[in-house]
Structure 1
Amino acid sequence: MNWNKETEKITKEFTFKNFKEALAFVNQVGDLAENMDHHPDILLHSYKKVTISLTSHSDGKVTEKDHQLASKIDEI
């Protein structure tokens, strides 16, 4: 799991062939997040890059739930 650990979150940038693929990925992450009731910050930028940031907002830190969602995102 190649996620970058920051003070209170983990982040990872994904790069796709084009905007359509990046947007499809964002929608898949959204479905995963809804199913887990755990919502990341998602930034689609530079038309084909997506940066995901995970933290447990209620705890103010990274928890096991963030790592579980990160693993599921990596499987997409």
Structure 2
Amino acid sequence: MPRPPRLSPDDVATALDALPSWSGDADGIRRTVQLPTFREAVDAIVAIADVAEEMDHHPDVDLRWRTLHLSLVSHSAGGVTELDLELARRIDALLPD
């Protein structure tokens, strides 16, 4: 199945308007989440991993004590695609502000 194409900078900017917890540009989008405890941060990674596996699209995750730094980019497309935006929406559903 073909992967979606890289989105234009304007398309990514428009999409980020609907994803206020995320920042970035057509080269990648990012979100930082602080959880109450280290264990809850680890549990959040497991929940994100389940969604990522289901989508066959995986974020870069950096855990620093109880803070998650999440980065999304479709390396095969050289930038942000609709897959990244959908994964961001699903992460937001798991980790609302």
TM-score interval for Structure 1 and Structure 2 normalised by the shorter chain:
over 0.9
TM-score normalized by the length of structure 2: 0.75
2:87 corresponds to which residue? 69
1:32 corresponds to which residue? 51
**Equivalent of 1:12 in 21, 31, 40:** 31
1:58 offset after TM fit, Å?
A: 0.2
**Equivalent of 2:67 in 39, 46, 49:** 49
Number of positions where the alignment pairs a residue of Structure 1 with one of Structure 2: 75
Mapped partners of 1:7, 1:37: distance in 2: 20
RMSD: 0.9
**Matched residue SS, 1:58:** helix
2:7 corresponds to which residue? none
TM-score normalized by the length of structure 1: 0.94
**Matched residue SS, 1:17:** coil
Higher helix share: 2
Structure 2 regions of 5+ residues with no counterpart?
Answer: 1-18
Larger radius of gyration: 2
Runs of 4+ aligned structure 1 residues displaced above 4 Å come to: none
- Percent identity reads 39
